Amino acid sequence: MIQFTSNLYKTLLIVLISFLCALNLYQLIFVQNIISIIPLLLQIPILFFLYKKQKHLILFIKIWAILLLISGITGWLAILSGKLVTNLGGSVDPAESGIFNLLDKTIALMAGLYFLMFLKDSIEVKKAEPELIENNN
């Protein structure tokens, strides 16, 4: 069983995961983007473990935050390499180096850092009390 020591961390986690889950479900159902299943495989268990307050939540947050970090870093590298190619006389799709892509990768990088850095300070693992276990059965 887990307990949050930071309400800000819990609130940001619920809001961001819920928003991303809804966005990916929209992409899957209406745009028929099959790849949106991949983030849903992490987001739905995070919401489930949040609801159930199970300790597996910590592992899933770590994996999700690391993937956000990787996404942000590789996105920034792609943007910077696109700028370099443009400066050397090549051509790059303008959407790749646009402000929305830049903002998306920056938010992914910052969110990944935040959720990874403050994970240990924001969630405590508590041993379940025997009467609580019996009442849940």
The answer to whether the CB of 67 falls within 8 A of the CB of 42 is: yes
Question: Residue 3's pLDDT is what?
Answer: 87
The total number of structural domains that make up the chain = 1
Note down the domain range covering 68. Answer: 2-136
The answer to whether the CB of 20 falls within 8 A of the CB of 39 is: yes
71: pLDDT strictly greater than 60: yes
| pLDDT band, very low/low/confident/very high, at 82 (cuts 50, 70, 90) | confident
98: pLDDT strictly greater than 80: no
The reported pTM is 0.81
Question: Residue 132's pLDDT is what?
Answer: 55
Residue 90 — φ and ψ, nearest 5°? -85, 180
